[in-house]
């Protein structure tokens, strides 16, 4: 399981052996605890959540705690840095979630869906290449001190740019999948 490290002013995540800027975080950023009733940290994501036709392409339920007072909204990103591509494969971009939310139900339609690497809005489940080994899916929840001025269909890059300087807290859950 890869871990994120908080450095003064910048949140860095180890992806593919490199440190890439993921989202600018404030120096006083706090931690959010992210869990799922569908899978434990570091464990296999159930096949039901995999991209069709491998699975049913249903987003997993997520729970979180530790959103600080003063948060205006939440954003969620899920990607796979093990994908055989230059950039991690984006599975989910979700934003404009209420700051009072404590999770998402399975198959949710809450928030505003952005565009994933399948070029679709909403959840696009795991479907790594057959025989490519175990992939790691990073579900990242961000508490923001401002509302994002983004329309539906924004990309991960759009969301990261809009979040710059507004991250109050963040948390991550990593699940795995292989074929």
Phi-psi group of 98: left, alpha or beta (phi > 0 → left; psi -120 to 50 → alpha; rest → beta):
beta
Which residue do the tokens 């001025």 mark? 149
Residue range 31-177, CATH number: 3.90.280.10
Provide the whole-model pTM.
0.85
**Predicted confidence pLDDT, tens digits, the chain (179 residues):** 333 333 223 233 333 333 344 555 556 667 999 999 999 999 999 999 999 999 999 999 999 999 999 999 999 999 999 999 999 999 999 999 999 999 999 999 999 999 999 999 999 999 999 999 999 999 999 999 999 999 999 999 999 999 999 999 999 999 999 99
Q: In what order do the strands lie in the sheet with 135-144?
A: 4-7, 10-15, 18-31, 167-177, 135-144, 73-80, 89-98, 112-113
* Angle at CA of residue 70, ends 175 and 148, nearest 5°: 65
Contact (CB, 8 A) for 177 and 60: no
Which residue do the tokens 């928030």 mark? 111
Phi, psi dihedral angles at 3 (to 5 degrees) = -115, 150
């Amino acid at each position: 399981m890869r871990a994120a490290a908080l450095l003064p002013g910048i949140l860095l995540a180890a992806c593919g052996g490199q440190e890439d800027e993921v989202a600018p975080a404030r120096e006083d950023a706090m931690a959010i605890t992210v869990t799922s009733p569908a899978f434990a940290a570091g464990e296999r994501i159930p096949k039901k959540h995999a991209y069709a036709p491998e699975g049913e392409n249903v987003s997993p339920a997520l729970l979180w705690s530790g959103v600080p007072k003063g948060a205006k909204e939440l954003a969620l990103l899920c990607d796979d840095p093990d994908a055989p591509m230059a950039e991690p494969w984006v599975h989910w971009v979700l934003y404009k979630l209420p700051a009072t939310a404590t999770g998402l139900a399975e198959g949710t339609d809450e928030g505003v869906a952005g565009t994933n690497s399948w070029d679709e809005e909403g959840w696009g489940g795991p479907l790594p290449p057959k025989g490519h080994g175990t992939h790691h899916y990073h579900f990242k929840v961000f508490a923001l001190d401002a509302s994002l001025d983004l329309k539906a269909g924004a990309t991960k890059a759009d969301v990261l740019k809009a979040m710059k300087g507004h991250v109050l807290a963040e948390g991550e859950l990593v699940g795995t999948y292989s074929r």
